[in-house]
């Protein structure tokens, strides 16, 4: 699934990447390649003339996200569990490990598989990175901070996580994954980079069933003039980053020498309450939707606000896309792809 707006955005990202982000001819592995972020990453890399080895078992990704790449000579796809993947490539330059369920409702239904992707699956990819002397970028999450108590939240905050709660399969899975990355880095002198991603949205984010997160769910409901469902009283906050900003930051973080073995937050530092977000989407889409309130899920974080000064200093990155602009771009994509295939 790719439209003209996405094609333009992909070209723009490639043009903005500087000379230090040279990707031509590199062999790059992307686990979770058919997911929201993984498929965007593949598009940028393939169109930058890198050779991409994509791995996905479609546990939560969508085949349609990469269908347009299947006949591209720069793209090699393996329908496989990341725990079982191996490669005969003589050289792997870079590995992006994204494979994991990431939607709370869905990972709570599949807790074992979620934990395995961030333990056994990551362990397998770290072994491959060790063998090939590759850089590995681990896609961690703001969820490792749990219900944070310090804002803006810096990378040196240890977190406030319930280790046995309903979300622990994801939160603690990612925390273990970070520990495993640092262990490999220390024991084998490997370059392993950890990026902690905050709430991201944009074209290809799933809005159907348990995958529907706040922005795509609110947009879908507003377009149908259905009630917009806000959990709790809506006073909880999030900081939303548009996907093109995020992908650009990820690639720069992966390739800049200054980011070797670093851990960094990546997201937008503009905070908004969930209730304000719902009202904004109703206004932007001129919707007749009303707002209804449901019980707040257990252990749902009350606030999310990243300190992004470290990644600004490391790679000179800062988000550019305003929330209103990103919402309208996401709305157009949802309108064109209003199906659950």
Q: Answer yes or no: is pLDDT of 1 > 80.
A: no
For residue 329, the model assigns a pLDDT of 96
Q: Does the CA dihedral 233-243-210-281 come out positive or negative?
A: positive
Q: Which of 5-9, 20-24, 237-241 has the highest mean pLDDT?
A: 237-241
Contact 246, 196 (CB under 8 A): no
Which one is catalytic: 145, 170, 184, 211?
Answer: 170
Q: Answer yes or no: is pLDDT of 301 > 80.
A: yes
Write down all domains in the chain, each with its CATH number in brackets. 4-201+240-269+305-322 (3.40.50.720)
pLDDT tens digit string along 41-77? 999 999 999 999 999 999 989 999 999 999 999 999 9
Contact 228, 290 (CB under 8 A): yes
- Judge whether 170 counts as a catalytic residue: yes
For 268, half-sphere exposure in the C-beta direction (CA atoms, 13 angstrom radius) is 23
Q: Cα-flanking dihedrals φ and ψ of residue 229, to 5°?
A: -95, 115
Residue 341: band (very low, low, confident or very high) from pLDDT cuts 50, 70, 90: very low
Identify the CA nearest to 175 among candidates 189, 188, 194, 190. 194
User: What is each CA distance from 307 to 18, 267, 313, 318, 319, in whole angstroms?
Assistant: 24, 9, 12, 11, 13
Give the Cα separation of 282 and 214 in Å (integer): 13
Q: Answer yes or no: is pLDDT of 339 > 60.
A: no
For residue 252, the model assigns a pLDDT of 96
Q: Answer yes or no: is pLDDT of 268 > 80.
A: yes
pLDDT tens digit string along 81-99? 999 999 888 899 999 999 9
């Amino acid at each position: 699934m790719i439209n003209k707006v996405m094609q333009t955005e992909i070209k723009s990202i490639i043009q903005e990447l500087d000379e230090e982000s040279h990707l031509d001819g590199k062999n790059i592995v992307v686990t979770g390649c058919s997911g929201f972020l993984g498929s965007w990453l593949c598009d940028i890399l393939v169109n930058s003339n890198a050779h991409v080895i994509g791995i996905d078992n479609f546990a939560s990704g969508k085949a349609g996200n990469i269908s347009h790449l299947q006949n591209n000579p720069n793209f090699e796809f393996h329908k496989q569990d990341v725990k079982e993947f191996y490669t005969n490539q003589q050289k792997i330059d870079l590995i992006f490990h994204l494979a994991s369920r990431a939607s709370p409702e869905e990972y709570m239904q599949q807790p074992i598989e979620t934990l395995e992707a961030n333990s056994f699956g990551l362990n397998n990819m770290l072994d491959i990175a060790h063998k090939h002397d590759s850089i590995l970028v681990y896609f961690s999450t703001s969820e490792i901070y749990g219900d944070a108590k310090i804002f803006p939240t810096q990378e040196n905050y240890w977190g406030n996580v319930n280790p046995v709660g309903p979300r622990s399969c994801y939160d603690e899975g990612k925390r273990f994954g970070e520990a495993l990355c640092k262990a490999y880095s220390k024991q084998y002198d490997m370059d392993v980079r950890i990026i902690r991603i905050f709430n991201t949205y944009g074209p290809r984010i799933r809005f159907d069933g348990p995958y529907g997160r706040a922005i795509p769910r609110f947009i879908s409901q507003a377009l149908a003039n259905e009630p917009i469902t806000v959990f709790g009283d809506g006073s909880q906050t999030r900081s939303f980053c548009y996907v093109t900003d995020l992908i650009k930051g990820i690639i720069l973080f992966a390739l800049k020498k200054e980011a070797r073995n670093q851990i960094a937050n990546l997201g937008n530092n503009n905070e908004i309450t969930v209730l304000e977000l719902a009202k904004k989407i109703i206004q932007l889409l001129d919707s007749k939707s009303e707002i209804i309130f449901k019980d707040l899920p257990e252990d749902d974080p009350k606030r999310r606000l990243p300190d992004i000064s470290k990644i600004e200093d490391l790679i000179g990155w800062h988000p550019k896309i305003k929330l209103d602009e990103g919402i309208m771009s996401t709305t157009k994509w949802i309108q064109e792809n209003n199906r659950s295939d």
